[in-house]
Structure 1
Amino acid sequence: MKILLINPPSENELLGNNPSIIGEERGYNPPLGILYIAGYLEKYTDYDVEVLDTQAEEIGYDRLKGIILSKLPDVVGITAMTFTLIDVIKVINLVKSVHQTAKIVLGGPHVHIYPEETIHIPGVDFLVLGEGEITFKELTENIDDKARLRNIPGLVFKEDGRIINTGARPLNDDLDSLPFPARHMTPIRKYSSLMAKRTPITTMFTSRGCPYRCTFCDRPHLGKSFRARSALNVVDEMEACVKLGIREFLIYDDTFTIDRQRVIEVCNEIIRRKLTIGWDIRARVNNIDKDLLKKLKEANCERIHYGVESGNPEILKILNKGITVDRVRTTFRETKETGISVLAYFMIGCPRETKKEIMETIAFAKELKPDFVHITIFTPFPATEIYKMGLKEGIIKNDFWREFARNPTKGFQPQCWEEHFTREELQELLVYAYKSFYTRPSYILKRLTHIRSIGEFRRMARAGLKVFGMQS
């Protein structure tokens, strides 16, 4: 059986009005979801499995058509997110137009939230709900036997006009049992990041699920149960990547530091093996301390991403962040004193937020002096608590995400939280926020003194041109 797993183009991605300055450049993130499935199929089947990352390869639809014709896969698996749904549908139509008998399988957060709407998309044959490795394998092994498929948890398909939803598969508690993502099936050297000191880079998951209850969180398909890989398994993957020529890692866990002892064990294992790597993590300001920061630094953790979101205590309560501005100040100071760089995430246009609170957030970002900030206009994502709140209070006039899921149309624009601002006003404030942070002479001078290579200089220069070219 020939299986082609596709990361679709992003020509029609619903980015709304959130220009990315330090964010993910083209080819930045390897498509870990389909790479986990590819690795699982490669280990446990004899299928002919290929991965096509159209974004990293810069493959448009004309070229993609020729690739499908040359490969004629039996099954095409596609990652579907709500923000990429238009491109997903274009890929489906292209595949079916040149290879009608290919079975189309969609997975990802969108199908988890909107299974009924998604299975009705023309050309879609199956949906894989939640974590997909085992379900995808069992689906392909029984793809022509609908009776058996009804007994495989985690599937949605149609039979005689009826929708069959077999229910969610239990979350996998033994993440060490999963093969590593099949990075060798991708153009490894095309993955890079503005912030990285080395290329190529890769992303990694060392755990799944987040126990916190932020009202804006948009990753329901991984659950709220924190499940972690062992330190040995994590560093084994790092070592395998080093053998591929990868020496920089972004740990993509929602919160890497939930299990303090595991973090220490990961660091000790990196040190014991003398791995010459750099790595980033995502952490919360309230589950990290001086001693843990020192251990991370010893293992050459070079950057920590903190979700601050707002500089106003009341807005933080609405977002249910569970942190205080004083703790943010303390953690940022301690992180920088340890010699670890900091990336801070902020949002503007949150519920109840007026211009006063937005200006507090911008001032707070400059007070904290992180190495990078990533600022976005708050967008209520589907199935989140804050989206439900907006519908209940009438701030969000209609269930626009469900309507889009039922009728995906090009040109759709996600709604922001228009309680005190119009979209245009928030866009102007976003531009102001970026410019006021990144064009400070003190910031520019600091960044110039930290540049270590011509490649890093070029990436910084491109980002700087983005800032200066923003329209207010």
Structure 2
Amino acid sequence: MSKANPNLLFINYPLLDKGLPTHNRTDRSISPNLAFGYLGTIADSLDCNVTIIDANFYLRPYNTDALITKILELKPDLIGFSVFINNALWGYEFLNLVKQVYNNCLFVAGGPHASILPEELLAHGFDICCRRESEKTIKELIGYLRGEIQLSDIKSINYYNENKEIINNADREIETNLDSIPIINYDLFDKLYFSPENVATTKFQVFTSRGCPNRCTYCNSYGVFGSGFRTRSVDNVLEELELIHKKYGVKKINFVDDYFVLNNKRVVEICEGMMKNNINLSWGCYSKAGAIGDDLFEIMKKSGCDHIGYGVENVYPKTLQLINKKTPLRKINEAYEKTNPTRIHYKTNIMAGFPWETVESLRTNIDFILAKKRKFEALFNPVVLYPVPSTKLYEDYVNDFPIIKDHWLNKDFMLENSDLSSQGRMKLNFFNLNKKVIKEIKFLFFCCKIPPLSTLTGFKFFILYPLNKFFYSYWGAKILELVYNTKQHLLEQLPKLLNFIKALTRLKSSAT
């Protein structure tokens, strides 16, 4: 294969026709895919013809048939997929459908799943898997398409040789100078991303660093980005922020670094640069609880910060120790005390469903959630633990709980549990937790939905505020849960009741 100006297509394959919960704007893609943006920008600079398609973009969605038709129209020489554990199965199905009608190209997989289980992706039909970061890899793959180098010359890839043997090329050195990676050419994305409709409501994603200094036992960041924590220079970050704000009209962003507020001095410089250059964005970030210095809140607020996500995950001492979270409860409490007066919105991740989970451990987290909702304007995002290959937690428990192994390849299993986080359901039970624990996890999810006391208005204010000390306690919340579940049950039964009344009315009419 040798072509001077190869056609490259990067796709997020469609989930809209797979029974997954992608039926509204919230569930679908709303912001450009940064990985494809970086790779596409490099390919474009090397005189390739680049197309980026997110089939799940809510303003221009593609179903399977429509995307295959588009592929036949474009005739790409390389199709790049980004594969995650929770959508890998749909990627394999889509790949198989494409190869039935078009096979005159390289099918290349990247993303977290390709970095962790490349042999699995090759077995399901991919030609090449790119491990970890791929900015240098894409340059060399283009060189391969042009006949300049061999696959054996390209680091950090897995592929089949001519004897159908899997070849694992050596790992590539991690790029320490992130400024050497070009700023994304956003012209490569669908123009509808920057339409007034989308820009008005969407927080666009921006990376200012890669990697994480922590090694939480449930997280696979190390498997994707390696052990080093690296940052872009302040000037490099400001250049991109000015570009997307002034050229593309972006109004809101979210710094999606694992740990944006690691270096307070650097954050101050970014905030000052935004104000100096009139980069008027509202923005959010993620931070370790207790990492933000007292003086930093003010300048973050002035520069447009309106949201902070705290990665607390859990407050039960045994769990914090076993997941290698080293932030003491004292620091977590201080973070709430310091953030609340700033009027910056903040949300805390709370994780449940660990192998050692008990009613007691969940009760500790529930009491924490309710106390914070009563005292502060605190929001919580509940998630159920998802065991990911290559993490310490997965490796420690996969032999004791066989359901963990390859669960992402079980279509019925994945469809059944695809709406777990957003709906607060607890169908997925990797670790054979007993019914009492499952019930308590559901209650924890409910408590996360109770509005903070300071935000109550109208009817809820008159009911809950006078007895807030009770309703924001464990047993008071239990009563609220009972009322809520009863209401939901009645609403579900109402159509049946109305149909019964209509049938009864028709029966009486016919009798007379």
The separation in 1 between residues aligned to 2:274 and 2:434, in whole angstroms, is: 48
2:456 equivalent among 441, 445, 468: 445
Name the aligned partner's letter for residue 246 of structure 1: V
Asked if structure 1 preserves the Cα contact closer than 8 Å seen for 2:15 and 2:56, the reply is: yes
SS at match of 2:47: coil
1:290 and 2:294 correspond? yes
Asked if structure 1 preserves the Cα contact closer than 8 Å seen for 2:398 and 2:405, the reply is: no
Match of 1:119 in 2: 122
Name the aligned partner's letter for residue 11 of structure 2: I
1:278 and 2:254 correspond? no
Deviations 1:20-71 (A, max 9, x none): 9x9963223432111111112122x111101001111321112112211221
- Bigger mean CA offset, 435-444 vs 54-63: 435-444
- Output aligned runs, 1:305-316, within 5 Å: 305-316=309-320
The separation in 2 between residues aligned to 1:306 and 1:14, in whole angstroms, is: 32
Name the aligned partner's letter for residue 350 of structure 1: F
1:386 and 2:386 correspond? no
Name the aligned partner's letter for residue 44 of structure 2: E
Structure 1 pair 267–188 and aligned structure 2 pair: CA distance change class (3 A): farther
1:103 equivalent among 89, 106, 113: 106
- Output aligned runs, 1:143-162, within 5 Å: 143=145, 148-160=150-162, 161-162=164-165
Asked if structure 1 preserves the Cα contact closer than 8 Å seen for 2:30 and 2:202, the reply is: no
The separation in 2 between residues aligned to 1:334 and 1:89, in whole angstroms, is: 47
Asked if structure 2 preserves the Cα contact closer than 8 Å seen for 1:129 and 1:154, the reply is: yes
- Output aligned runs, 1:239-388, within 5 Å: 239-242=242-245, 243-369=247-373, 370-388=377-395
1:37 and 2:48 correspond? no
Match of 2:30 in 1: 28
Match of 1:418 in 2: 431
Name the aligned partner's letter for residue 130 of structure 1: R
Structure 1 pair 469–295 and aligned structure 2 pair: CA distance change class (3 A): farther
Deviations 1:296-317 (A, max 9, x none): 1121111110011113222211
1:8 equivalent among 10, 13, 17: 13
Deviation at 1:245, TM superposition (A): 1.3
SS at match of 1:142: helix
Match of 2:184 in 1: 181
The separation in 2 between residues aligned to 1:89 and 1:347, in whole angstroms, is: 29
Structure 1 pair 309–337 and aligned structure 2 pair: CA distance change class (3 A): same
Match of 1:227 in 2: 230
Match of 2:446 in 1: 435
Deviation at 1:325, TM superposition (A): 1.9
Asked if structure 2 preserves the Cα contact closer than 8 Å seen for 1:199 and 1:246, the reply is: no
Deviation at 1:198, TM superposition (A): 4.2
Deviation at 1:94, TM superposition (A): 2.8
The separation in 2 between residues aligned to 1:247 and 1:155, in whole angstroms, is: 38
Match of 2:175 in 1: 172
Structure 1 pair 114–206 and aligned structure 2 pair: CA distance change class (3 A): same
Name the aligned partner's letter for residue 297 of structure 1: K
SS at match of 1:342: strand
Identity of aligned residues (%): 26
Deviations 1:205-234 (A, max 9, x none): 100010101111122211120000011111
The separation in 1 between residues aligned to 2:17 and 2:405, in whole angstroms, is: 18
Structure 1 pair 69–105 and aligned structure 2 pair: CA distance change class (3 A): same
The separation in 1 between residues aligned to 2:131 and 2:458, in whole angstroms, is: 43
The separation in 2 between residues aligned to 1:55 and 1:175, in whole angstroms, is: 29
Provide TM-score, normalisation by structure 1: 0.84
SS at match of 2:398: helix
Structure 1 pair 432–153 and aligned structure 2 pair: CA distance change class (3 A): same
Structure 1 pair 447–174 and aligned structure 2 pair: CA distance change class (3 A): farther
* Structure 2, unpaired ranges of 5+: 1-5, 418-427, 461-483, 493-512
Asked if structure 2 preserves the Cα contact closer than 8 Å seen for 1:191 and 1:199, the reply is: no
- Bigger mean CA offset, 224-233 vs 410-419: 410-419
Asked if structure 1 preserves the Cα contact closer than 8 Å seen for 2:379 and 2:452, the reply is: no
SS at match of 1:42: helix
Asked if structure 2 preserves the Cα contact closer than 8 Å seen for 1:125 and 1:158, the reply is: yes
Deviation at 1:440, TM superposition (A): 4.3
Deviations 1:79-125 (A, max 9, x none): 01111111211221232122121210100111111112221212x11
The separation in 2 between residues aligned to 1:224 and 1:14, in whole angstroms, is: 37
The separation in 2 between residues aligned to 1:377 and 1:6, in whole angstroms, is: 28
Name the aligned partner's letter for residue 40 of structure 1: I
Match of 2:88 in 1: 85
Asked if structure 2 preserves the Cα contact closer than 8 Å seen for 1:257 and 1:288, the reply is: yes
* Structure 1, unpaired ranges of 5+: 450-464
SS at match of 2:88: helix
The separation in 1 between residues aligned to 2:459 and 2:228, in whole angstroms, is: 42
Asked if structure 2 preserves the Cα contact closer than 8 Å seen for 1:257 and 1:284, the reply is: yes
Deviation at 1:326, TM superposition (A): 2.0
Name the aligned partner's letter for residue 382 of structure 1: P
The separation in 2 between residues aligned to 1:155 and 1:103, in whole angstroms, is: 13
The separation in 2 between residues aligned to 1:420 and 1:93, in whole angstroms, is: 37
Deviation at 1:266, TM superposition (A): 0.7
Match of 1:199 in 2: 201
SS at match of 1:52: strand
Name the aligned partner's letter for residue 209 of structure 1: G
- Bigger mean CA offset, 46-55 vs 214-223: 214-223
Match of 2:56 in 1: 55
Deviation at 1:137, TM superposition (A): 1.9
The separation in 1 between residues aligned to 2:459 and 2:15, in whole angstroms, is: 32
1:70 equivalent among 73, 76, 86: 73
- Bigger mean CA offset, 328-337 vs 408-417: 408-417
Name the aligned partner's letter for residue 341 of structure 1: H
Asked if structure 1 preserves the Cα contact closer than 8 Å seen for 2:357 and 2:437, the reply is: no
Deviation at 1:442, TM superposition (A): 3.4
